[in-house]
Homo-oligomer: A and B are copies of this chain.
């Protein structure tokens, strides 16, 4: 199943990333090179490289000669993240609607969400993000995807920080996704964009309220 073992550094970076997303590493908590080196049993230089990678990704923040810490997101950040998300995704929807094209991977992500109907919203963060990511990736712009993936990582940090408080119910998310898919398939780009704006706007408000 293609578990790429590229190297120690990437493995540590992945573990750290997962720890941040799981909320195991709370926002603001210190991540020293020595701590990471000991925890994952690697050399300090390797831990350093992994930390620097996450700093570049925006998950950790650091100033010279000081330990990295898990980046805490404030309301302004949430608003900026969602503003940018809306812009990118709106363009993607317009482009997809123009060709009446809905990537099958996005539909499958929705099916996965459907399987969690009645469950907790936290459990669908994964397929939810995948739905949106697939829509953006479908337009085939490497640069746009790169930017969007970075945003998704930050959204997941928000989720971790908020710890499931005030999330939107699963059935509502699923319903809105499906309506967006229908509008795109029908070629109604502006309709899809309007609905998307509501969809993301609601999430933004919840997160902004929960985070402050």
Q: Is the CB of A141 within 8 A of B84?
A: yes
Q: Is the CB of A80 within 8 A of B142?
A: yes
| Contact partners of A2 in chain B: CB under 8 A | none
Residue A147, interface by CB 8 Å? yes
When chains A and B are docked, how far (Å) is the Cα of A64 from the Cα of B147? Answer: 24
When chains A and B are docked, how far (Å) is the Cα of A206 from the Cα of B143? Answer: 20
What number of copies of this chain does the assembly contain?
2
| Contact partners of A52 in chain B: CB under 8 A | 49, 52
Residue A6, interface by CB 8 Å? yes
Q: Is the CB of B80 within 8 A of A141?
A: yes
When chains A and B are docked, how far (Å) is the Cα of A28 from the Cα of B87? Answer: 34
- A-side residues, CB < 8 A to B, are 6-7, 45, 49, 52-53, 56, 64, 77, 80-81, 83-84, 87, 91, 141-144, 146-147, 150-151, 154
| Contact partners of A91 in chain B: CB under 8 A | 87
Determine how close the nearest CB of chain B comes to the CB of A163; give it in whole angstroms. Answer: 23
Interface SS of chain A: helix, strand, loop or mixed? helix
| Contact partners of A80 in chain B: CB under 8 A | 141-143
When chains A and B are docked, how far (Å) is the Cα of A83 from the Cα of B144? Answer: 9
A-B contacts, 25 of them at CB < 8 A, read A6-B64, A45-B45, A49-B49, A49-B52, A53-B56, A56-B56, A77-B142, A80-B141, A80-B142, A80-B143, A81-B143, A83-B141, A84-B141, A84-B144, A84-B147, A87-B87, A87-B91, A87-B144, A143-B147, A143-B150, A143-B151, A143-B154, A146-B150, A147-B147, A147-B150
When chains A and B are docked, how far (Å) is the Cα of A64 from the Cα of B52? Answer: 18
- CB-based nearest B residue for A147: B147
| Contact partners of A151 in chain B: CB under 8 A | 143
Determine how close the nearest CB of chain B comes to the CB of A197; give it in whole angstroms. Answer: 14
Determine how close the nearest CB of chain B comes to the CB of A57; give it in whole angstroms. Answer: 9
Most buried by B among A6, A52, A143: A143
Most buried by B among A49, A147, A150, A151: A147
